[in-house]
Amino acid sequence: MAKTILKKTHQEAIVKIAGTGVTEVISLTTDLLPATQVLGATGSQTVTITGVTWTGNTDGIITIRRGGIGIMGATGIVMTLQANAAGQLDFSGQAMIPDTSGSTSSSDIEVAITGAQAECWLKLRKVRGYTTTVEPEQFGSHDNPTVAGS
């Protein structure tokens, strides 16, 4: 198992990356798009990281990058996590604001696990660039779910 989308709603997504020697890309335009949403203008998808939880074996390293930089490039690093020092970071706004590193210009999120088995769960907030096609609170039973703003 490498990438698993655990939750995908209009405003939030939870993605798990697990394995040894894996590199996964969380695509803002495909992985985070539920059937009840369409993409806004190309390049306008903005997603922030609001939480991360990780664990794993000794010597497991999880590297998270953004900004369209290749996974082997040093630029674009958002965070580096040591797997055997399991932890959790909450960026939901109480103690720390969401991580917006590389969140503009539709930068996908790249996660690499090296060294040993590790697991990482990312909590993501969709800020901009997604349009909901189901609007029953506005149109009631006359809503056309195939058209945004019907």
CATH of domain 3-128: 2.60.120.340
pLDDT band at residue 130 under the 50/70/90 scheme: confident
Give the mean pLDDT of 31-50: 84
- Of the spans 40-49, 58-67, 116-125, which averages the highest pLDDT? 116-125
What is the C-alpha end-to-end distance of the chain, expressed in Å?
40
- By the 8 A CB rule, do 138 and 149 touch? no
pLDDT band at residue 69 under the 50/70/90 scheme: low
Burial class (CB in 10 A: 0-12, 13-18, 19+), 116: middle
- By the 8 A CB rule, do 40 and 80 touch? no
- When the pLDDT of each residue in the chain is averaged and rounded to a whole number, the result is 83
pLDDT band at residue 12 under the 50/70/90 scheme: very high
Reported as a single tens digit per residue, the pLDDT across 133-143 is: 776 666 556 65
Reported as a single tens digit per residue, the pLDDT across 77-114 is: 888 999 988 899 888 877 777 776 766 666 889 999 99
> Side-chain half-sphere of 35: how many Cα atoms within 13 Å?
1
- By the 8 A CB rule, do 31 and 108 touch? no
Q: Any idea how long the chain is?
A: 150
Q: Which residues of 29-39 are buried (b: 16+ CB within 10 A; e: fewer)?
A: eebbbbebbeb
Q: Which pLDDT score, from 0 to 100, does residue 107 have?
A: 83
How do the domains of the chain map onto residue ranges?
Answer: 3-128
The full 3-state SS of 98-143, as one line of letters, equals: CECCCCCCCCCEEEEEECCCEEEEEEEEEEECEEECCCHHHHHHHC
Closest of 87, 23, 22, 88 to residue 50, by C-alpha: 88
